Chain A
């Protein structure tokens, strides 16, 4: 392409070029032949043509580069914006949505767990208070029952004590009456032994008199 451009410039001298002076001295043989036999010259000066005109600044290549750049970049832009990037974008959006959903689910689960723990603790406290109530009730019942039983037993015992005391007292009283008799009999026997027979009535009276003193 460079060489073709060159041949064009050589064929049309009216089209002056900044490197004209260099061209004239450097690449004269190529330009001496203005025919379109460019390939021959390209072969002959294969490595030389780069120095004729610096390729990146060769305006003859501009239309082709601009056209193909426009085509390629437009195609790239369309492919990226319509097909490729939305696919990658949807991948990232899907992952973000999935992560957000998972996080929300985890949060919901955590809240559920918290609620369950709170309910458990409430039930536990309730059961504890109930158990304490039951225990207190039971101990009260036992206490009252115990007290009533003890009262009954005590009453029974005191009644038995009273009857026993009464019996003792009667036995004692009876014994005491016998004491007089025994004393009288003993005294009569003693007196009889000492003084002979005396009426038992006088002995009894004497004993009674003595026991009173």
Chain B
């Protein structure tokens, strides 16, 4: 059994049912998807999920083929068809009325436009730039880990997601963006509201609530931008407000809002999800927690540990693309306009690619070929920052705590209802402080 995705026992929604009766819109499949993915890969690797209205791409090879062909599989059209699905016009009106405007995501686009936007951002996220941030981030994480360990040391149940993973990533991104005064709970709500737009599980009521949160976020961003326009500082919001492309063109106001929004949110929810997964694994695999502690000063081991964590439990489950012409993928004919969901998590569990995929093995020869960050032109731009945050979180925490356990039975864990990520919502745990 894969302990990161425990089977739901007798409630298992897919045992014995034909694929045609199953859908990724089922919250139980979303929470425990391992067998579903395996069935997809072995029976119908490019499968039309009728309830979702999308083609699920589950095999490693097909995922890479698709992601390496952005002309045939449009990111822009796939994303737009997914965004606020079912309520888009009303959503857009709310943002225009109360949120300063509707700003489409500049980075969720196709070449050649995408190439121009992406180039602007790349320099800020190189592994070398990120390395320079490590001491500052270590300090933030160490403070948070101290508080977390101290609360737990008094015998209290602590929430690994709400009291460690989420505040950690929010503190880091605010430092990056130069936001000194912030309300962590608000940023967390904004993140959920944005991610929900590609999660496909919104009803009208939650769409309206989420749209209001996004208005609040956009008004906050616009105020921050105005501040940096007048007095530029050494931070990423200033960089974007004053950025110009190689040909000297400036970003438009709408582009800048959308990019700042993307940077605040994209790296936040996903990295918090990864750190939540880290804590879950430490709580359920004590031998691995011990191995991590024994190797905590070995930077090669730590890097491999983080990479295997990302392969084993990738935060992003599925993102959308759309075919721009008739094509064929994995033996399946696809019409023009086919809405695709790329199942990164299934690719990482593909047994033809990764031997014993359910085993957490930092010694894998092909560790770096996982698709948790995507592949091709849309590969995660914040990968180095995410890796470093997870690395520092693992290190600072394991140095302080031991005997990490779940405080509730595994099958009572709640996962966010969404097709886009595989995210533990709340992780009650018990742990002891190392003396």
User: Are these two chains actual partners, yes or no?
Assistant: no
> Interface of A with B (CB < 8 Å)?
none
